[in-house]
Amino acid sequence: MPTLTISDTTYAGEAASAFIVKSVLGNELVQGGHAYVQDGIKKTHTIPRFTVDGIIQDRVPTPSSSVANMVVSGRSLTPADYMVYAEFNPRDFEQHWLATQLNPTLIDRRLPATVESVIIQEVLKQHNKYLGVGLLTNDTTIAAPSTRRYFDGLITRAKRDAAVPKVSSPVALTITNIGDQFQAVLDKVAPDILYDPALKFFVSYKTAQAWEQYQRTVLYKGVDMTAAGIMRFAGRTIVPLFGMPDDCILAGKGSLDMQSNLWVGMNSIDDATLQLARVQNNSELYFIKMLMKVDTNYGFSEELALYAV
């Protein structure tokens, strides 16, 4: 029978940063290129906002700038602490088919992976699922012991924000009304970004399926029963996201660069650590522990549009 050995290891610096960053980037919101990730936030980061109006005036020999209105403001990203933790017995892996083909190092890019790498990757997968929901719907008003209380998600923030344009009297999305409701959201989008290539509709899997079914029911102009639905409305991309609530459509600029209106904040270098070690000296059990700091926000309320029941 193969013998499995896991060395007590604490990952810090570059190695820890790589794992933590992967843990954040693995969810669909970020992996799909729909939100900008600001790393290295020691305490608080301000999303820069700069607006200008009143700069057009009559031509005069000596102009005056007193009519111009320039506003420099910002929203805050303040990553909040939480922890990933699990204990396991290495002997549980002894019968695994990978056990006879283990590589000698932890950090590797080829299969089969080491036991340490397998454990870390599986933990990261579960954390990605947590973030997939959390980045959208976490809520700091939820009481313990819920793990959804550490930071506010983007949908949670948008619902509470009176400055975010919202479709009035929203109803449950169905195959028959979804086309009209997409148009209702588009009607709420600010003219400044209406034709911005980064403007997208973010929906749940269920809503995306309803949109596909809607296209199959439209006579002459829809898709046939054997084809996948086209994830676009009025030329804008529709993005299904794991973790989006049903009966909800969020429209906004989403991209991987700083022009995105959707932001995710973290500090992998200084605040995040990853440990894989024995629970105690006389125990066969090991633990994996990862400290995290995450927050979300958006730059401009008026550059979003929300449909939420």
Encoded amino acid at 208, one letter: A
CATH for 18? 3.90.1690
- Both tokens assigned to 168: 């009035």
In a domain, 245, yes or no: yes
In a domain, 1, yes or no: no
Looking at the structure of the chain, the number of domains it has is 1
pLDDT of residue 278: 84
Name, of 70-84, 153-167, 281-295, the range with top average pLDDT.
153-167
Rg of the Cα trace of the chain? 24
CA distances from 290 to 57, 120, 121, 127, 133 (A): 57, 10, 12, 10, 19
Residue 110 has pLDDT above 50, yes or no: no
* Arithmetic mean of pLDDT over the chain: 82
Residue from 16, 11, 35, 15 nearest 25 by CA: 35
The mean-pLDDT minimum among 143-157, 191-205, 272-286 falls in 272-286
In a domain, 57, yes or no: no
In a domain, 231, yes or no: yes
Taking the C-alpha atoms of residue 160 and residue 162, their distance in angstroms, rounded to an integer, is 6
pLDDT of residue 67: 52
Taking the C-alpha atoms of residue 169 and residue 26, their distance in angstroms, rounded to an integer, is 35
Domain around 115: 9-50+70-308
In a domain, 2, yes or no: no
pLDDT in tens, 15-67: 455 556 666 666 899 889 999 999 888 888 888 766 666 666 777 888 776 55
- Please report, to the nearest 10 degrees, the dihedral formed by the alpha carbons of residues 235, 240, 241, 245 taken in order: 100
In a domain, 81, yes or no: yes
Local confidence band at 277 (pLDDT 50, 70, 90 cut-offs): confident
pLDDT of residue 120: 77
pLDDT in tens, 18-32: 556 666 666 899 889
In a domain, 56, yes or no: no
pLDDT of residue 47: 82
In a domain, 17, yes or no: yes
pLDDT of residue 229: 83
